[in-house]
Amino acid sequence: MLNLGKKNIIGVLVDAVDYEAATQAILAAATQGSQLAVSALAVHGVMTGVLDIEHRYRLNSLDLVVPDGQPVRWALNWLYSAGLKDRVYGPNLTLTVCAKAAENGIPIFFYGSSTEVLARLCRNLQTKFSGLRIVGTHPSFFRVTTDAEKLQVINTIKLSGAKLVFVGLGCPRQEVWVYEYREMLAMPLIAVGAAFDFHAKILPQANLVVQNLGLEWLYRLIQEPKRLWKRYLLLSPLYVYYLIIQYFGLKKFEPTDTTVPIKNLNYG
């Protein structure tokens, strides 16, 4: 198990952890009924914090931010000699946590995506993990929610008896959701990106060779060019440029250089 704590990646704090450490922290919080705000960040997720000081505050306020993308893992190893042998990929972390939840009888909840995706996701996961207790789901509103709707979601999760929530709203909406809901829910809230679509078999995943080479971005770009081209063709080169600047000490990217969000965004 490896957990070297939070490290500054161009102003965004990312935890240098492996799957075992991340899973252990999540399961401990679920068992104890403790708040734990978690996100799995790839390059795009990091850059949302780099370019938006309010969102940087949200990200740096989360309890656990795992290196979802290979380039984020490489940055931890390059800048801090972290010795991470693998990233902590959101879809794989979902499976790891579900496996442990099934073993320990921990009830889980899924928030986000559509009713169809959630139904397929639950069916596939319960087939894969015998005894997995999925006590509730709630699809995304696909819009900003009202305060009343937000309260309704909170009450639904609490009444379900869930001990942890997986959140699949896409980046950065899911990180905003975790940040805004964590004070009202005493349990782990885990933003896991495209895990819902992957495990529902809506979207195909890149093979392991492509993933390990850090080329999953190219695979996804080919799948969804209209939606993802800005994310990968503009933000990725900027990420590398900023990392080089940080490495050579040409600029300090301070994690405390943030602004507290003025108001909740109520993404749903």
Domain annotation covers residue 220: no
Range of the domain at 141: 5-208
pLDDT tens for the chain, 268 residues long, are 899 999 999 999 999 999 999 999 999 999 999 999 999 999 999 999 999 999 999 999 999 999 999 999 999 999 999 999 999 999 999 999 999 999 999 999 999 999 999 999 999 999 999 999 999 999 999 899 999 999 999 999 999 999 999 999 999 999 999 999 999 999 999 999 889 998 998 866 656 655 566 666 655 656 666 666 666 677 888 999 999 999 999 999 999 999 999 878 888 8
CA 55 to chain centre: 14
Domain annotation covers residue 263: no
pLDDT at 215: 62
Cβ(151)–Cβ(185) below 8 Å:
no
Query: Which amino acid makes up residue 183?
Result: E
What sections of the chain are H helices per DSSP? 19-32, 43-51, 53-61, 70-80, 90-104, 115-128, 147-160, 173-181, 195-199, 208-212, 216-223, 225-230, 236-247
Domain annotation covers residue 241: no
Domain annotation covers residue 120: yes
Phi/psi-derived region of residue 266, left when phi > 0, alpha when psi is between -120 and 50, beta in every other case? left
Copy the structure tokens of residue 114: 């559509």
Strand, coil or helix: 155: helix
Domain annotation covers residue 268: no
Domain annotation covers residue 9: yes
pLDDT at 164: 98
How many folded domains does the chain comprise?
A: 1
Q: Give the number of other Cβ atoms within 10 Å of residue 146's Cβ.
A: 12
Domain annotation covers residue 46: yes
Domain annotation covers residue 152: yes
Q: Which of 81, 131, 140 is nearest to 112 (CA)?
A: 140
**Helix (H) or strand (E) run with residue 62 in it:** none
Residue with tokens 């740096």: 60
pLDDT at 229: 64
pTM: 0.92
pLDDT at 262: 84
Integer angstrom CA distances of residue 72 from 17, 42, 44, 50, 146? 12, 6, 10, 13, 35
